């Protein structure tokens, strides 16, 4: 069984001025992790800003006996993110954990969405996570240690009406994780993705009170703490909400091979049930394995017709 321990660890939690990020920061600090509480302090749609939200969380952590500093960097701005990383290293000597949590919403049906709404949501979630990850990446490589979490959403995996921009950005994060895992493996940098469901200002008006009160941020942070501990898993999408925990996996069906001359749309239609059948579905750990599967069958002469 894995243990949940933190040996002299320093974490950056983005968007930690409220909601899930605040809860993650408090939970890590309670386990002795020193925390950079980052938050731009804007509203749900990404407008406005201020440093009070992050400072309040730092005050809570210090009052509880923990160590933390506030930071108001905008995760989309390279120079501000680099200054945040430099400040943490100057103060505590190293960064071991990055929790990419900051996010905004600009929900609208696709026909009504402007490309400016698209760009901003993708910039904060996807590029913002890349910007923060880039700023700690070489430092983690040099130290031979790192734990990084991306925050996705059920919208990114299954879709949600009115969230094409958000869904695309959130799906991008799990793709980002899978390739980053390959590049970080040699340096003990483990990257996981959290898919939360929790009461926050983002979800406050979406559900009735009796449901919202079950959706505690603390239940999600229990999963987050496990994803960044010394004995963390790697490449996992952990779903957490209302005390429920599960894993989303990307798997591929066995499918079929058609011989040259038989590779027609009509034959794809004819064998669509076998192509889609989940029997023998497998999870790959890199993209090349898909090609290998198809080519191995050609070598063995395994064709449908
Ligand atoms: N609450 C849910 O049920 C739910 C579901 C799926 C995914 N999520 C994801 O969880 C994360 C946290 O969301 P939440 O529900 O706690 O909402 P929230 O609005 O309370 O938290 C997001 C925080 O990010 C900060 N932020 C926004 N843009 C920033 C920027 N450019 N730089 C730095 N900070 C910035 C905000 O000020 C805010 O405090 C988000 O990525 C969200 O998409 C939440």
Distance CA 225, CA 214 (A): 19
Q: What is the pLDDT of residue 304?
A: 82
What's the gap in Å between 282 CA and the centre of ligand 1?
Answer: 33
* pLDDT score at 206: 84
pTM above 0.75, yes or no: yes
Q: Where are the domains of the chain?
A: 10-248, 260-300
pLDDT at 50: 83
| Mean pLDDT, the chain, whole residue set | 97
Cα 94 to ligand 1 centre (Å): 25
pLDDT score at 258: 96
| Ligand 1 centroid from CA 57, angstroms | 15
Task: Judge whether residue 205 has pLDDT over 90.
Answer: no
Q: How far is the CA of 292 from the centre of ligand 1 (A)?
A: 39
Distance 235 CA to ligand 1 centre (A): 22
Instruction: Return the best residue to mutate from 103, 105, 107 for the ligand 1 pocket (most ligand atoms within 8 A of CB).
Output: 103
Q: How far is the CA of 110 from the centre of ligand 1 (A)?
A: 22
**Other C-beta atoms within 10 Å of 190: how many?**
24
pLDDT at residue 49, rounded to an integer: 87
- Does 169 contact ligand 1 (Cβ within 6 A)? no
- For 11-64, what is each residue's pLDDT tens digit? 999 999 999 999 999 999 999 999 999 999 989 999 988 889 999 999 999 999
For the domain made up of 10-248, the CATH class stated in words is: alpha beta
**Cβ of 75 below 6 Å from ligand 1:** yes
pLDDT at residue 135, rounded to an integer:
99
pLDDT in tens, 206-258: 889 999 999 999 999 999 999 999 999 999 999 999 999 999 999 999 999 99
Convert 191-209 to b/e letters by CB count within 10 Å (16 or more is b).
Answer: bbbbbbbbbbebbeeeeee
* Known catalytic residue at 158: no
Q: What is the pLDDT of residue 261?
A: 96
Q: What is the pLDDT of residue 155?
A: 97
Q: How far apart are CA 241 and CA 204, in angstroms?
A: 15
Q: Is 156 a pocket residue for ligand 1 (Cβ < 6 Å)? A: no
Nearest CA to ligand 1 atom 30: 74
Measured in degrees and rounded to the nearest 5, phi and psi for residue 26 equal: -65, -40
Cα–Cα dist 67/257, whole Å: 58
Of the pLDDT bands very low, low, confident and very high (cuts 50, 70, 90), residue 1 is confident
Tell which one of 16, 19, 23, 240 to mutate to probe ligand 1, the residue whose CB is within 8 A of the most ligand atoms.
19
- Which H or E run includes 195? strand 189-197
pLDDT per residue over 131-187, tens digit each?
Answer: 999 999 999 999 999 999 999 999 999 999 999 999 999 999 999 999 999 999 999
Among 166, 187, 226, 245, the active-site one is 166
Q: What is the mean pLDDT of residues 67-81?
A: 98
**What's the CA gap between 131 and 14, in Å, rounded?**
11
CB 41 within 8 A of CB 49: yes
State the DSSP H helix or E strand holding residue 58, giving kind and residue range, or none if neither: helix 52-63
Is 124 close to ligand 1, i.e. is its CB under 6 Å away? yes
Mutation choice for ligand 1 from 14, 17, 21, CB with most ligand atoms inside 8 A = 21
pLDDT of residue 305: 72
Query: What residue's CA is closest to ligand 1, atom 40?
Result: 103
């Amino acid at each position: 069984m894995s243990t949940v321990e933190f040996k002299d660890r320093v974490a950056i939690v983005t968007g930690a001025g409220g909601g899930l990020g605040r809860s993650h920061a408090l939970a890590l600090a309670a386990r002795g992790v020193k925390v950079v509480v980052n938050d731009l302090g804007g509203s749900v749609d990404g407008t406005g800003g201020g440093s009070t939200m992050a400072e309040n969380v730092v005050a809570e952590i210090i009052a509880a006996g923990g160590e933390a500093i506030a930071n108001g960097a905008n995760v989309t701005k390279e120079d501000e993110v680099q200054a945040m990383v430099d400040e943490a290293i100057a103060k505590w000597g190293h960064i071991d954990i990055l929790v990419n949590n900051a996010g905004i919403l600009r929900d609208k049906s696709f026909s009504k969405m402007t490309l400016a709404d698209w760009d901003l949501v993708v910039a904060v979630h996807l590029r913002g996570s890349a910007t923060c990850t880039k700023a700690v990446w070489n430092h983690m490589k040099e130290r031979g240690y790192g734990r990084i979490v991306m925050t996705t959403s059920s919208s990114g995996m299954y879709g949600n009406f009115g969230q094409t921009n958000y869904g695309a950005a959130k799906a991008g994060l799990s793709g980002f994780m899978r390739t980053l895992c390959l590049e970080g493996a040699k340096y003990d940098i483990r990257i996981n993705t959290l898919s939360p469901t929790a009461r926050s200002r983002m979800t406050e008006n979406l559900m009735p009170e009796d449901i919202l009160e079950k959706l505690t941020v603390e239940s999600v942070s229990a999963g987050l703490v496990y994803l960044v501990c010394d004995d963390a898993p790697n490449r996992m999408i952990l779903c957490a909400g209302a005390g429920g925990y599960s894993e989303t996996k990307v798997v591929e069906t066995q499918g079929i091979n058609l011989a040259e001359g038989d590779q027609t749309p009509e034959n794809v239609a004819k064998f669509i049930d076998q192509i889609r059948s989940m029997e023998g579905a497998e999870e790959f750990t890199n993209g090349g394995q898909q090609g290998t599967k198809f080519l191995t069958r050609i070598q063995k002469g395994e064709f449908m017709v």
